[in-house]
Each structure stands twice: as C-alpha cells, then as structure tokens.
Structure 1
C-alpha cells in the first residue's frame, strides 16, 4: 500500500482544488438541474461550508504527498453537516491527481484522513458519493464504508 503525508494546502492548491471540486459538482448536478442553477448551488455551498476559505475553522484542506514529496492528491474533511455530534467528521472531497490514479493513493489518502480525525477524537467519518462514480464506490467499500442511505431519481 502507498503511504502519504498530509499537509495544509497552499493558497494556490486551495484555488485549484476548489475549481476542480466545483467543476465536478456542477457536472454531477447538471444531470438533474439546469447548469446555471447547479453552478449557483455549488458556489453557495462553498461559501456556506468554507466561509473562511482555506482557513475555515474546524476544516482541514489537505494536500497529500507521496514518499518522494510529490503532491498526489488532496482532501477536505470537516464537521459532519448532518450531525450535531462533535465525534463525527465528514469527508467533503477527496481527489487523486490523474497521473497517480489506480496506484493505491486513494486508499492511502483516505487512511491518512481517518488517522487524522481519530487523533482529534472523532469516532466516525461520513461521506457522500455520486452514484455513477464506480471507482470511488469501490474504494469506499474496500475501506470498510457501508451505505447508510441512498437517493434515487428517474427522469420522466
């Protein structure tokens, strides 16, 4: 298994990660709503969950580096938006850069995030995944995550 070290993102890394996350979110939401509505929803979500940007209290915006010091991906973890419990964290985003995909870095980043929140006294990590993201679903299942709820939609 690969090993990674997590560090706080730089301002430039934060901008790039935010642009990537927002573009992917708009892509997913545009399947069920007009693109401009999706874009506004995503922007307002970023403003709501990260009002202080990179320095938002309680949130970790992280770059993952491999043993050679190369940035291989990133993650955003913070308070669980659906729980009032201080012992639950939420994985808002995880991304392995294209050149490093299918090499075990997704599992390594996820394990490093789990270790980080465990050190902070958290006892659970939740997340949401788009239903057609088979690679992410497989990663989470391999890592021991269970489905707690499922939303479905049919276009008529």
Structure 2
C-alpha cells in the first residue's frame, strides 16, 4: 500500500508527545519495568530527543498517510544514541490497529530508511518489545538482524 510521510505539524507535536510517551511507557511496563521506572526512562528519552519540545538534532516525526490522505500511524526516526554519527534508529513506528496487515508499516519503513540514508545514515536499527512478533517478522523481512536479545523469566 503506497503511503507518504508527512512531518507532524509543530502545533500537533505536544499531542504526539503524549501519545508516543504513553505507548512507550505501556511497552516498557509490559516488558517488566515498574511504572515508576518506565515513566522515568520515557521522560529522559523524550527530553533527550526533543529538548525544546519539538524535534531537534536530526530527529523527525512523521504521520504515515495513505493515498486517500488519511493518517494511519506515525514514524519517529533520528540518530541513534551512540557516538557513531552514521548510526540511525527508527525510534518508533506505529500503525493504527485497524490498519494492520495492509502494508502501511512496510512502506513507512522504506520511506524512513530513505530519509535516514539521505541524511548520511550508514546503518539503521530498531528496538522491538518481545511480544511484538509481527514487528520482528516485518523488520527481519526488511533485512534487519538481531544484535542483542534480552530475555526474562517470571518466578
């Protein structure tokens, strides 16, 4: 399914921060973080990436828009948090639940990778929570490979 990436308007950015932050906290909590720790991690990460409350330092947030002009999700992409200036990361890609399985995520990932490449990226990474099997399958089909795996057993 063809899509375009449209920069999230600065007037809508505060609402995006609330949505993305909430989704990130929920993902961390589902992965075993305490709610306090999840809130702290998300607060620190968002403050690092968006110190002025808007994208800076190479970070960009896009709506994923279908051919009918409807927003079907979003992508946040930017430099990785390493010293490697060529390393970029898809910090978050979310396709609305009722739009899953239509190719929007795959198309958005291709466009995000192109965006990063045009800005000097030589590699790109993504982090996937363990329960997001479909996301792992998508990333692997796009050529991503695991570089680290964190496992846990509840006792």
Q: Same fold (TM over 0.5)?
A: yes
| Alignment RMSD (CA, Å) | 1.7
Residue 59, structure 1, aligned to residue 95, structure 2:
no
Task: Note the alpha carbon deviations across 1:99-154, whole angstroms, 9 max, x for none.
Answer: 32211100010001011111222121111110111111111111111111111122
Corresponding residue for 1:68? 68
2:123 matched to which residue of 1?
Answer: 124
Count of aligned positions: 154
Residue matched to 1:19:
18
Cα distance in 1 for partners of 2:69, 2:133 equals: 29
Structure 1 length as normaliser, TM-score? 0.88
- Which segments of structure 1 move beyond 4 Å, counting only runs of 4 or more? none
Alignment map for 1:1-156 (pairs within 5 Å): 2-31=1-30, 32-82=32-82, 84-156=83-155
**Structure 1 stretches lacking a partner, 5+ long:** none
TM-score scaled by structure 2?
0.88
Instruction: Tell me the alpha carbon deviations over residues 27-73 of structure 1, each in whole angstroms, 9 at most, x when there is no partner.
Output: 23224232133223212221122212323121111112122222121
Local SS of the residue matching 2:54: helix
Query: What is the DSSP-based 3-state SS (H/G/I as helix, E as strand, rest coil) of the residue aligned with 1:55?
Result: coil
Aligned equivalents of 1:6 and 1:94: distance in 2? Answer: 12
State the alpha-carbon separation in 2 of the partners of residues 33 and 120 from structure 1.
34
List runs of 5+ in structure 2 lacking aligned partners. none
The residue matched to 1:30 in structure 2 has which SS? helix
CA distance in 1, matches of 2:13, 2:62: 9
**Partner SS, residue 17 of structure 1:** helix
| Aligned equivalents of 2:119, 2:150: Cα separation in 1 | 31
CA contact (8 A) 1:4 1:64 kept: yes
